[in-house]
Structure 1
Amino acid sequence: MQYQVVLKKMITELDEEVQYYLDTENNFLNLNQLLDKELEISFEGYQCLCCGKEKKIFRQGFCYECFYESAQVGDWIMKPELSTAHKGIEDRDLAYEKKVQLQPHVVYLALSSNVKVGVTRKTQVPTRWIDQGASKAIEIVEVPNRYLAGITEVALKDYVSDKTSWQKMLKNEIVDADLIEEREKLKTFIPEEAKNYFLENNGKITEITYPVLTFPKKIKSFNLEKSHVYSGKLKGIKGQYLIFEDGTVFNVRNSEGYKVFITIK
């Protein structure tokens, strides 16, 4: 069976084990059902997720022009502290920026390889945690806009990492940490503007289990542009990665906008 796909980040659903879906041309493919099956992924070209044209992907599924023009990939996306919609100041498209920035955001701690701090829109909980391959996560503050979340993250980065070791995450090499205890340690360092939004009585830890049959001991990445075809037995899915029997891993999100054929053998 073969599917033609313009890759987008996998759709996820929190369950006893995370359910993963790939958006194909006419349907959704449940990837959990493909565990222990041989898959072939072959590169066929590009399609920008913004303009829809068959142009080489520059970053994040966008062609060069769209990446530097679209409001969907402004600097404030990666650096929330640069958000300005709360002041009525436009970056690229104020209407879009107000829609995204002026809604509840969460600053959280997640345990993927190490303890890390991060930011997401409230509506993206727990999707953001799943995309990062977190095994556990807890909310620290819930603020009314992206700017407040951004400056809180920046302040807390001096005391806890904001990065995940993706290799350790995929090998399931996770430090042992008490997220409630870690959260309490950080309370003092929350900026004054966000202190009132600290979730004082929050002891809820979300635990996440991934559909992985075997974790790799050594990891090698598969890049569609360098090697146009890969074939292997699917052994797991974690974060936004497909994990294969020979230790090859494929980052679906990093390949957004790539046109591929996926063949189930």
Structure 2
Amino acid sequence: MTDQASILRKKIEQLNTNRKNQSNHKTLAIISGKGGVGKSNFSLNFALTLQKRGYRTLLIDMDIGMGNIDILMGTQSRFTIVDFFRNNIGFENIITKGFEGLDYIAGGSGLSDFVNIEEEKLESFFQHFHMLLSQYDYILLDMGAGISTDSLKFILSVDDCIVITTPEPTSITDAYAAMKFIHTRNNTLPLYLVVNRTITKKDGVETLQKLRQVVKQFLHRDLINLGYIPDDTNVAQAVRKQIPFVFFNEKSEASKALREIADRYGKQQFTESHLVNRHSFVSKLKRFLFER
């Protein structure tokens, strides 16, 4: 009896530990309405800043066939997410150590979607991804520009969605269209906004306010403004040298703005409703992928 009670206590303790670990993670999709707004560069520097703050972070390049996370930090991954599905490479092998030891999964090329992959491979993907949730505090999905039918399924499965735009009218219009598209499928998914490449402070503030008002008026929901990142020559120089800009020049205006955004996001409280959503990421993704 004593041995059985001891074993039972250990199982309960392990279950509570697993639950505690699971409650710490969060999945994010980082999107843009159009290309060329600096989304991937934001994703990389945002992930590195979260990691520097002490959060266990994984960055996944979901821009299949057009991924450039490797290029931005001057590294080269041996395997990509395509190798997992097409070449039977183990999931643990497609996670690469990048700049400053950041864990990331490269996008690769040659894989157009997840729908036509055999069910056995998809199930293996789900199992591995579920295990990843307890190993990281943040899992960031750097989505491709725009929203496709397949990418929408991943976006709808995450806890939070960060939308990147610039003050340009076309970028603002496309950002709103993307948010509206997401809202029609899930009107409770938290939407965050970051305005990139602002010329002046007024430029950034007005763009944030404009989109927030439009979303409030026509979608009848709140848009959470994380802030703006000024147009900074240090960013272009960092890209050319393949060094993330938050490390290229820590004192630059862009770096300071990015750190403020990361701190602002990282200080969020994990509410009970968020906990429920996070625990169901894999089940939600399964449902969206297999729905007809």
- Calculate the TM-score normalised by the size of structure 1: 0.32
State the structure with bigger RCO (CA 8 A, min sep 6), 1 or 2: 1
Give 1 or 2: higher strand fraction.
Answer: 1
TM-score scaled to structure 2, two decimals?
0.30
**Higher helix content, 1 or 2:** 2
